[in-house]
Structure 1
């Protein structure tokens, strides 16, 4: 049973979906999947408002959709916040429970907001990985780019959710032919011993990221980037990219990089 007793009611802004799967990675991270309305259409990388009905009113936050656009179910990757208005309740959901899902996906982490390029970098911290789980499983990404680099920075090794999936995506029975050797998954930790350590900004600045992946230094004429994570990481990476001549993009005016401004809480 969930902490919410009132059954959600559909309205113009939300669909009522049912939880089909819940997986707790750690005491701070979990994944859940829901049914998907046939009317919901989204681009890989976008987010929707999701939540629960509390005291007769919707309590919602922005969540990136972790599933690719063609998936039959919707998947979300969430933190657990003990005193968070939504996540304190959402972390207790079980299979069969009802969740509100917004009907209007949006977001800046879409392919059409980027200019054509050679290498696509997907830079994530924590649950900022979610939109890139969608994009990494979208064949169109591999049609547009020769190489895709997905970095995931966390504090501890246990926080590297989806690690096994990303390490074996090249062998996926349906996606393997698209992914091949073009996807490089690059996990790194900021605490504890691990094969790769450090903040992604430091790994870019030092050149270690490029050396480890046998790639040239970031070049605005060839490289495109998507960034999703906490505010400090976003600020640091934007400053780094701006200083290197990368122009921020949008659907109205595609550029060399985009970042997501919405956060779950």
Structure 2
């Protein structure tokens, strides 16, 4: 059973008519970048709860979550109606193993995400650990439409601070919106992703973290395994660490 706390809404940031970020404050237990917690609201006579990853680094007092407002989403629609000063319930303890502590050190770290699943990577990139653990970092954010490329300003600021960060936005349903327009598995299989970033990847120098919907995670993992990479497990370290984002 989760230990629920009251969180106060600080602000909502709307990226477009569907995507928004919810910023709250609450005295939760310490967490690790890449982990998730649960948000909940009392809707009718039921507490409706869902898991959301942190966008903010653990050092931040503000807790930020990146959400999509779903037409049939009971909780997301209710969260989208919140205003500053309102309350939302938050689990005191965070969970998850999609963290840098679980990833072997390497020369390169490839962060592959779709949609709102970029959130945990943004949390990691705002911490010092990732810059000490890897020499090259590639953040791939694949979306359908260019208006879905949220957090670009933050990412560009990180690039200025850390030149070893390669940001690769990918828009799949608008012609010529970005240099790369295919889905992530296709970009890996064809080699276009590596050519675009001008990095040669191999199992002895690259780690991949994949965060997205289950089909994307499965397909991307298989493409990498076909190239000789292995799933990363505690008993047998590999190069592929995954998080399914619903």
Q: 1:133 to 1:116 in 2, by over 3 A?
A: same
The answer to whether the 8 Å contact 2:7/2:88 transfers is yes
Determine whether 1:232 maps to 2:215. yes
Match of 1:212 among 196, 211, 220: 196
How many residues are aligned here? 244
SS of the residue 2:244 aligns to: coil
C-alpha distance in structure 1 between counterparts of 2:40 and 2:150, whole Å:
22
* Greater relative contact order, per chain length (Cα 8 Å cut-off, separation 6+): 1
Determine whether 1:150 maps to 2:134. no
Name the residue aligned to 1:8: none
SS of the residue 1:219 aligns to: coil
1:135-155 CA distances to partner (integer Å, 9 max, x unpaired)?
111111000000110000001
Match of 1:97 among 74, 78, 86: 86
Name the residue aligned to 2:243: 260
Match of 2:48 among 55, 59, 73: 59
TM-score normalised over the length of structure 1 = 0.87
C-alpha distance in structure 1 between counterparts of 2:225 and 2:36, whole Å:
25
The answer to whether the 8 Å contact 2:213/2:244 transfers is no
Q: Offset at 1:262?
A: 4.3
RMSD (Å), alpha carbons = 1.6
Match of 2:110 among 115, 121, 124: 121
User: What does 1:1-12 correspond to in 2, within 5 Å?
Assistant: none
C-alpha distance in structure 1 between counterparts of 2:54 and 2:105, whole Å:
24
C-alpha distance in structure 2 between counterparts of 1:91 and 1:253, whole Å:
42
Of residues 21-30 and 194-203 in structure 1, the stretch that sits farther from structure 2 once superposed is 194-203
Q: Offset at 1:114?
A: 1.2
Q: Offset at 1:242?
A: 2.1
Name the residue aligned to 1:184: 166
